[in-house]
Amino acid sequence: MKKIIVTIGLLAVFVKIDAQDKSTQVEEVVIQGNRIETPFSQTARDIQIITKEDIKKYPAKSINELLSFVGGVDIRQRGPFGTQADISIDGGTFEQTLVLLNGIKMIDSQTAHNMMNLPISTDAIDHIEVLRGAAARVYGINSLTGAINIVTKKEKKSFVAIDLFAASSFKNKEEGDGSGIYSGGGLQLTGNYGTDKQQHLFAIAKTSSNGQRYNSAQEGQKFFYNGNYNFNDKNSLQALAGYTKNLFGANGFYAAPGDKNSEEIVNTSIFSLSSKHQFGNFSISPRISDRYNEDDYRYYKDKLDVARSKHYTNALMLELNASLTTVFGKFGWGIESRLEEINSTNIGQRKRNNHGAFTEFKTQITDKLTTNMGMYLNYNTDYGWKLYPGLDASYLINNHWKIAANVGTGQRMPSFTDLYLNQKPGNVGNANLLPENAWQMELNLKYQNNNFQFQTGAFQRNITDFIDWVRPNTSTPYSPINFGNNKVGGVFGRLQQQFVIGKLQNIGYKISYNYLNPSISNNETVQSKYVLESLKHQLIAGVNYSFQNLSMQIENRWLKRELNDGYNISDIRLNYQWKSLRIYSDITNIFDAQYKESSAVPMPGRWFSLGLNYNWTP
């Protein structure tokens, strides 16, 4: 707590600096809804944005680490370099948050443990949108507590960028884990060919680490392509393809302490082809996409004929979205189908289909009052029909104050692991599970004046048929049940400000705090995985400073989970820009805190990194 007080004290000093407060013109980010795109300043939902400028400044080298600096988002990593992470929003479970890449759903019907196995490197990202709250009306199934949409660059100028980094804890490896010190590194190569008519983005990346403790080594490769071709100003074609392979030691990931010598290899490929067409005030966009995943889990990495699990999962997605602008407002609608199948050694061969239809209407009732309402009708071949409505409204009190409210619904389908896993005497699935359903209400208030922003809000979420893995005692395997009603109430506050000091210096701060009060109504006397991991308090404080070509970003995170001790993590990044070359250095976990984010996996202590980024524009 002393470290937190020091950080907040520094922020208070910066606020009092006698500086010239100048507003800066920032390009408006457009939220990439599948049917109705909305400028960020006009949204009624609580949406946070990680910009490409933030990506350069944050002490982070993976999408997982970037998201750890977003208020309300809970990243539970099992290792550095993007090895594997579970992601949740506002006290939900890792299965209840939806991740998208350019609007394409990354749902893994085997398990959401693999959802963050993404083929995109950070240099190829334009921005990341984080939408909090139940969002079935916007994104369909599995967006029960929120959604994260990663949007890649689409620039009209050509460039080539290379990023190279090395990192180490400078600590000797553990006995039996080889020799030397724990270390790692990575390479990203990103190129773009851009004109007014077409844009083609290519990116490859590789990371390698010998771990941060016994049997935690990692190797990862990524390839990504995103292309856009404009036939004219009314018609365009988009194509996307990506592949990633991730191999890592899985010591303590799922079945500690017996899995000390386990290993996992996850291969993921995605493909998408879409087009956009404009006919006056009417637009239409069809898309076909596919996500294929292979998960090879080896309980004994040196004995592949014993306790090995192999899963092959595929999801074919078909979508058609449209919108119409009228004098009354903007109408959006769409239909989609998702065809899922799995072939697994301990789940079996399974198939199911999901079909959905969207409709929404956005209108500005007065100069100050805007509403957006709609619904999502879903049919699942295992669970039948369900309707999910939602309503957003915002009111501009004056030029600085805006109040917004929304009511949303969401659904989470049980994964194939939830339903059919058979790892006796280990974890066992439950084929009788029902889907989770949620209602969420939120009210938030926002103030903005030049470069000063303040936002606060409160929400209440109620999940019925909540799914959790439980067991009556330690000698019995975990199995999922519909555990009862899960209620979460929460409040949040965010404060940020940027100063310009003369012509050479900039300084600013950002603070966010989230408090959650989860409760579960049930009659079961069992041990629950959820209660142990639910987030209770989250405080994130950041300070940035720049002088000419030198910049510094300090981030401090304090997290307290429901039944575990809180922990405090401090990170720093230094950047120096010389023409097209940027040199950066990170120190993560400055105070060498000992903590765990997921399962029985100790996270790395203090790590040091040095990197070079070169951007060439012809």
pLDDT above 60 for 558 = yes
Using one digit for the tens of pLDDT, what is the confidence trace for 402-422? 999 999 999 999 999 999 998
pLDDT beyond 60 at 21: no
Q: Strand, helix or coil at 8?
A: helix
pLDDT digits (tens, 9 = 90+) for 201-213: 999 999 999 999 9
The residue type at 415 = S
Which pLDDT score is estimated for 231?
A: 96
- Residue 34's pLDDT band, with cuts at 50, 70 and 90, is low
Reply yes or no on whether the pLDDT at 386 is more than 90.
Answer: yes
> Which among 295, 163, 152, 216 is positioned nearest to 604, based on CA atoms?
216
Structural domains in the chain (count): 1
pLDDT value at 6 more than 50: no
Residue-level pLDDT at 26: 41
Angle at 103 between CA 101 and CA 107, to 5 degrees: 65
When pLDDT is cut at 50, 70 and 90, the band that residue 472 belongs to is confident
Residue 433 near residue 419 (C-beta atoms within 8 A): yes
Higher-confidence residue of 76 and 70: namely 70
Q: What percent of the chain has pLDDT over 90?
A: 75
Sign (positive/negative) of CA torsion 603, 474, 486, 106? positive
Tell whether the model's pLDDT for residue 483 goes beyond 90: no
Which tens digit of pLDDT belongs to each residue from 484-521? Answer: 889 999 999 999 999 998 888 999 999 999 999 988 87
**What would the DSSP string read from start to end of 492-505?**
EEEEEEEEEETTTE
In CATH, what number is assigned to the domain containing residue 492? 2.40.170.20
Ranges 14-28, 130-144, 565-579: which has the least confidence = 14-28
* Cβ(21)–Cβ(452) below 8 Å: yes
Q: What span, in angstroms and rounded, lies between the C-alpha atoms of 234 and 276?
A: 8
Higher pLDDT, residue 130 or 138: 130
Mean pLDDT of 326-332: 93
Closest to 411 measured CA to CA, from 376, 374, 442 = 376
What does the pLDDT average to over 381-386?
A: 95
Q: Which two tokens stand for residue 117?
A: 């196995």
The least confident of 144-158, 240-254, 526-540 is 526-540
Q: How confident is the model at residue 278 (pLDDT cuts 50, 70, 90)?
A: very high
The pLDDT of residue 148 is above 50 = yes
pLDDT in tens, 90-125: 998 889 999 999 999 999 999 988 999 999 999 999
Question: How far from 328 is each of 283, 365, 366, 373, 394, CA to CA, in Å?
Answer: 17, 9, 11, 14, 17
pLDDT of residue 473: 81
Stated as kind and residue range, the H or E segment containing 529 is: helix 529-533
| pLDDT for 4 | 44
Q: Which pLDDT band, with edges at 50, 70 and 90, does 2 fall under?
A: very low
> Where in the sequence is the domain holding 313, given as residue range(s)?
2-616
Q: What is the largest CA-CA distance in the chain?
A: 72
Mean pLDDT, rounded, for 247-265: 90
Average pLDDT, the chain: 90
In terms of pLDDT, which residue wins out, 4 or 608? 608
pLDDT digit string (tens) for 155-188?
999 999 999 999 999 999 999 999 999 999 999 9
